[in-house]
Structures are given as C-alpha cells and as structure tokens.
Amino acid sequence: MNTTVESQLSIRNLSKVFKTGDGVRNISLDIAKGEMVTLLGPSGCGKTTVLRSIGGFLEPDHGDILIRGNSVLNLPPEKRPTAMVFQSYNLWPHMTVYENLAFGLKIRKYKKPDIEREVTAALELVQLSSAASKNPTQLSGGQQQRVALARALLLKPDVLLLDEPFSALDAKLRMEMREELRDIQTLTEMTMVFVTHDQEEALSISDRIVVMHGGQIEQLSTPQEIYDAPQSSFVASFIGRINVLKGVSDGQHITVGELRVPNPNVALPIGDCIVAVRPEDIYLSTQAGGLEGQIRQVMVLGHYAEISVNYKEETLKVFVPREQAATLHPGQSISLMFHKMNVFPAISVSEVAPRQEAHA
C-alpha cells in the first residue's frame, strides 16, 4: 500500500532502540481506514514498541507517525486520536460499569443525556447492557475485558490499539472475544492495530498481518498469503505447523533424501536449501521415490488424524483423514510425498523461528 494522506495510519522509518539492543529499526507501515492489522512475532521482536510508539507511550529515536495525514509525534497520549486496550482491564473497582464508561465522557464535558445515550449504545455493542449497575469485581474476566473495550470505543478514536488484550483469558473465552472483536470492528469500521504473539489469533481476525522478527518486518500480507506463501524460513516456521527439512537445488529440481520434485522457487540459488512443508501438504504414497519412514504415533484429532513419522533423524508430522488413519499403526513403513512446499536459501538453524503452537 502506498503512503498517502488517505491512509488512516502511516508509520515512516520508525526507529526506537533500547540500551539492551532490543527495539525496532526503520519500520514503515501504512494502514487504511477500517482495516484491522495485527503485529505478530515472538517476545522481543518489537511489536509492542511499535504499538506504544503509536499511542504516545514511547518516544521514537527517529521517524514519524501520521494519523489521517497529520503527525502526532509531539502530542501526549491523551491528546492523540487513539485509544488503547491493555492486557489488564484497568477498571476502577469502586465504580459501577456505567460509571467506568461515563467517566471519560464527563472529562470531555459531554452533557448528561449524551453520556447516557453513548454509554447505553456501547454496552449494547459489547453485549453487556444488563451489567451497567454492577461493579467490575462482579464480572468475569471476559466481561471485564468487554467493558475495557467499550470504554476505548466510547472515545471514538481514529485508531484503536490493542496490546494482547485476550492473553489473560482461557482458550474458550479468547476465541469468543476474537469473534466479538471482529464483529465490532466490521460493524463500526474502526481502524485497529492488534498486537499478539499467538499466530492462530492473528490468522483468525486480521485483514493483514505484520510478521516481525529482530526489530524488522519479515512479511506484511494477508493471513492466507502469510500461511500459503511465506517469504522467509522464519515466517514459514513461525506461522502454523510445519516440517523443516534440508534439501539441495539444481535449479530445476529440489532433492530431499530420495524425493526429487520440481523447484517452486526459481530465484533460489543452486546448492543447499531449506524445504518447509506443512503437515496437510504431505501425503502417503505407495510409489517408490518418496521419503521412506516408519510411523511412530497415530493421534486422532476429531475429523483428521496427526501421524508422526520417523524419517532419518527427523520426526515429520502428517495430517490425514480420520478414515485413513484407521488403516495405519505404529511401526508401519510408509512413503511420503509432497503436494506443495516452500523452499528457501540455506541459513543457520538459529535464524529459523522456534516451533510455536498457538497458546491455549
């Protein structure tokens, strides 16, 4: 996306480096009005530094931040057209839910009828109309986070910032809150920047994802493109389940062990390479020339099964239909082939993202 005044939020060459060396360097990003963009990456990658810089809680070393075409660098947090929802709910326990929501509007000199109308609408939006007279301590964690979200929405920010807002909730509540947030974002057409380290969360709610690593943007794209066409071995390893194998390219083909397949990356240098293949893109074959291995474990996970296969020193994960899994057993010899794969230049193992599951 080109940097224009039509962008709701523009980050230009943003740098903020701490004494530890952590931080971000020359980050540029444009977000359109009504778009939900997620900053995703492991701890220390710089995603929260970017978010807090947008909100005015950190002062960048270099660069600029524009909202609706106007720089906000010299504005304190309370003067910026932004609102932030944190992990902690930060609700006043001595006030009712209604009073918590009304407080910010009173500060802004809203008239009483306007406050009542706005707060009532916000409570309806987060499905908490019946909780107006309750104290925050009487609410569940999910309900308290809804109140915190409603409070931020009441400020009608040009950009809503969310810093891992659901990380303190259990898995079921997190999933429900994701769906509700996406519904609210669609209904209000509000521009949102969401920070998380949970790749499943990012894939489920985002219009676009910014994958960050070492203070840099590794890839900026839609969830589908990030998953199907990762641009680096780090992105491939960080997003979703994946098998990483060593291969060799001769330009036209990739060889992995006994398997020789067409090269999907024509820009790949000849020589050693990294092959990344997702469990759903591996299939069991009766033909010769595949990766010969032995089944280590069969785990039925609802409508599909996860097969662990010992291949040389590696354990490969393969997803198969549940019906097919009924014919498989530990110790069985099988041959594996690929429907599709991604290949990257050979790099050190330390540059590949650590295997991460979506946090439960």
Per-residue pLDDT tens over the stretch 190-225: 999 999 988 999 999 999 999 999 999 999 999 999
- Predicted confidence at residue 90, as pLDDT, reads 83
Q: Please report which residue ranges of 126-191 form alpha helices under DSSP H.
A: 141-154, 171-188
What pLDDT does residue 17 have? 94
Q: Are strands 62-67 and 208-213 parallel, antiparallel or unpaired?
A: unpaired
**Claim to verify: residue 148 and residue 255 sit in the same structural domain:** no
Which residue segment(s) compose the domain that 332 sits in? Answer: 233-351
pLDDT of 298 higher than 90? yes
Given pLDDT bands bounded at 50, 70 and 90, which one contains residue 167?
Answer: confident
Boundary of a domain, candidates 228, 249, 267: 228
Structure tokens at 217: 């943007």
Between 11 and 347, the more confident residue is 11
List for the chain the helix, strand, coil content (%; round to 5): 30, 35, 35
Residues with Cβ within 8 Å of 14's Cβ and at least 6 positions away in sequence, in order, are 24, 26, 27, 28, 50, 53, 60, 62, 63, 64, 65
Tell me the average pLDDT across 90-97: 90
Count CB-CB contacts under 10 A for residue 301: 10
Sheet strand arrangement including 304-311: 282-285, 333-338, 291-301, 304-311, 314-321
Tell me the C-alpha distance between 277 and 339, whole Å: 9
Q: Are residues 52 and 145 in the same domain?
A: yes
Residue 358 reports pLDDT greater than 50: no
CB-based burial of residue 229 (10 Å sphere; 0-12 exposed, 13-18 middle, 19+ buried)?
middle
Whether 18 and 141 share a structural domain: yes
Give the CATH number, domain containing residue 202.
3.40.50.300
The reported pLDDT for the residue numbered 351 is 54
Query: What CATH number is given to the structural domain containing 293?
Result: 2.40.50.100
Residue 35 has pLDDT above 80, yes or no: yes
Q: Give the Cα-Cα-Cα angle 280, 284, 287 (nearest 5 degrees).
A: 140
| Per-residue pLDDT band at 347 (split at 50, 70, 90) | confident
Q: Average pLDDT of 277-295?
A: 91
pLDDT at residue 117 tops 70: yes
Strand duo 333-338 + 282-285: pairing:
antiparallel
Does 115 share its domain with 73? Answer: yes
pLDDT tens string 229-268: 999 999 998 998 999 999 999 999 999 998 999 999 888 8
Cα torsion 99, 102, 103, 104: sign: positive
Residues 33 and 125 placed together within one structural domain of the fold: yes
State the pLDDT at residue 338: 94
How far apart (Å, rounded) are the C-alpha atoms in residues 317 and 5? Answer: 47
Same domain, 90 and 171: yes
- Element housing 225 (H / E): helix 223-228
The answer to the question of residue 359 being in a domain is: no
pTM of the model: 0.87
> The tokens 């019906």 sit on which residue?
323
At residue 156, the 3 state secondary structure works out as coil
Give the residue from 228, 261, 282 where a domain finishes: 228
Indicate whether 329 pLDDT > 50: yes
Examine the pLDDT at 4 and tell me if it is beyond 60: no
Whether 86 shows a pLDDT value over 60: the answer reads yes
Residue ending a domain, choose from 196, 228, 260: 228
Evaluate if residue 166 carries a pLDDT over 80: yes
Average confidence score pLDDT of the chain: 90
> Could you tell me the maximum CA-CA distance found in the chain, to the nearest angstrom?
78
Within-domain flag for 117? yes
Q: State the average pLDDT over residues 54-70.
A: 96
What's residue 261's pLDDT? Answer: 92
Q: Average the pLDDT over 119-140 and give the result.
A: 91
Q: How many domains does the chain have?
A: 2
Q: Determine the average pLDDT of the residues in 19-45.
A: 94
- 83 and 136 in one domain? yes
Whole-number pLDDT of residue 1: 41
Which residue matches tokens 């409570």? 123
pLDDT at 275: 95
**Is 336 exposed, middle or buried, given 0-12, 13-18 or 19+ CB atoms closer than 10 A?**
buried
CB 156 within 8 A of CB 150: no
